[in-house]
Amino acid sequence: MSGTSPRPAATGYELLRNPRLNKGSAFTEAERRAHGLEGLLPPVPITLELQVARIHAELASLDDDLQKYLLLSDLQSRNETLFYAVLMSDPAAFMPIVYTPTVGEASQKFNHFFRSTRGVYLPITAQGRLKDLLANWPDKDVRFIVVTDGERVLGLGDLGVGGMGIPIGKLALYTTCAGVPPQFCLPVILDVGTNNPALLDDPLYLGLRQNRVRGEAYAAFVDEFVEAVHALHPTCCIQWEDFANFNAVPILARYRDKVCTFNDDIQGTAAVALAGIYGALRISGQRLADQRFLFLGAGSAATGIAQLISQAMALEGVAFEAAQSHNALFDINGLLVRSRADLADFQKPFALDHAPVSAFVEAVRALRPTGVIGVSTVPKLFNQPVIEAMAEINERPIIFPYSNPTSRSECTAEEAYRWSDGRAIFAAGSPFPPVEIAGKTFVPGQGNNVYIFPAIGMAVFATEASRVTDELFIVAAKAVAEQVTDQSLATGLIYPPQSRILPASLHVAARVAERIFDKGLAGVDRPADIPAFIRSRAYRPAYAKTSLPNLSPAATLNG
């Protein structure tokens, strides 16, 4: 299955400038003669494997991760097959470069380091013509759009049009981690302005120089975007990314039952946290129903995690309202309690009937949680008194500082393990190196959404699902946790190793696809062997064996 429409034969420089078709120095002598490439390349062809080795050597010569990011970005714009061959050759090494934490710095410097364009930019000044702008994208069968408005990029805030680095990076991981074919993926930014004064004053800023549009005008703009996507690409799934809480929650609520869509910050983050909890319980030997969690942060990520935990507890027989009471939230104004008058509607289900508490460590002592989960984007708030209080209450305290990038983490792995005397079950949103305490080495897990959203995407792509439900994220979380080996658990690692992210994601995708078929959400017939079906749909970076004189796309789905 190619999934690509017939393309006219490209020749000469046109061919070398087409990232989907370009093979660079790997074009054979016969291909060079047939397509006007003789003299345009060094005379001796090499293999894809040698090209990958050359890129590895180039990257090894660079000390700065941002420079490595820019090298890979340039490679993606020149030779897509080689780009993915490099990333998939060592995903654990390259994911932190093409996505978090490096993508955060790249997004901050987007306007100053702008290279070749990628994706579609939809400014609100083009309202009424969004369908025309989307139609300018050359690939006419788009199955996935990752879209942001750049207002809450990671933990870095409003980066305006610089937020485009996030959809580009996310979609690279769709392919690298789960084999979603890249020709079906489209990054989009909705430019409604920025409230970042530094950007508005920057002469190199590439976005609209106006304050952000709010209210009904904003909602109408998003409506037009969704309608345009559905009209042009009726089988497309929309992933919402890095929207401010007050937009993220209502956008998901508005469209989740109308189109195939999900919000990774809310649902993907929730699922990877739940997967970490399932893994942690394999270490502690406890039941999910007996857990109590205290969140540092009360935005859409926190409420999304709390909601999914509550749903998972309910599936195990706990009354849903009782399950919700197992999840407490704490923000800048203290513990979320019913007497507070400043709570948003999406926060109110988790407000406790409890006296106000203004210090996080006091909330730990009062509520006695089995785990603390940080989604505050404020570093170092899981301080020594907090970790020590958790260790006093629990034999194996769950410590999940999930804010990223690394500079925003609520604590480091070293701090969590040392302050708990090596008893913490730890995972973070960003990578941390192994920690040795009293002769034992602990391997910190990274609760990265990369374990979830690419696999969900692969399942949706393969099944042509009409909707993405919360239940699919619970299935995905369980499928991630069940792949962690006893050997990994012995070192404290509660997620599968990222070096094996592709087989892990295909396993998760198969589990999710099975539930999609069970629930009647699929747009294709159920195959006899779902895991084999998923594997057959997965992209592998390989140059096609071309039949002259026509040159077919430079990558196949099964290489």
Per DSSP (E only), the strands in 174-303 are 185-191, 237-240, 261-263, 293-296
User: What six digits make up the tokens of 331?
Assistant: 């923000």
Per DSSP (E only), the strands in 169-291 are 185-191, 237-240, 261-263
Q: Is 99 part of the annotated catalytic residue set?
A: yes
Those residues whose C-beta lies under 8 Å from the C-beta of residue 279, and which sit 6 or more positions away, are 427, 445, 480, 481, 484, 489, 494, 495
Sign of the CA dihedral 49, 175, 452, 416?
positive
- Quote the CA–CA distance of 550 and 559 in Å, as a whole number: 20
- Quote the CA–CA distance of 278 and 272 in Å, as a whole number: 10
100, 173 in Cβ contact below 8 A? Answer: no
Sign of the CA dihedral 122, 127, 130, 133?
negative
One of 23, 68, 170, 417 is an active-site residue; which one?
170
User: What six digits make up the tokens of 301?
Assistant: 């990520």
One of 68, 69, 84, 99 is an active-site residue; which one?
99
Residue 51: half-sphere exposure toward Cβ, Cα within 13 Å: 24
User: What six digits make up the tokens of 412?
Assistant: 């480091």
- Quote the CA–CA distance of 154 and 134 in Å, as a whole number: 26
Name the one residue in this structure whose structure tokens are 């820019």: 70
Q: Is 109 part of the annotated catalytic residue set?
A: no
59: left (phi over 0), alpha (psi -120 to 50) or beta: alpha
Catalogue the active-site residues. Answer: 99, 170
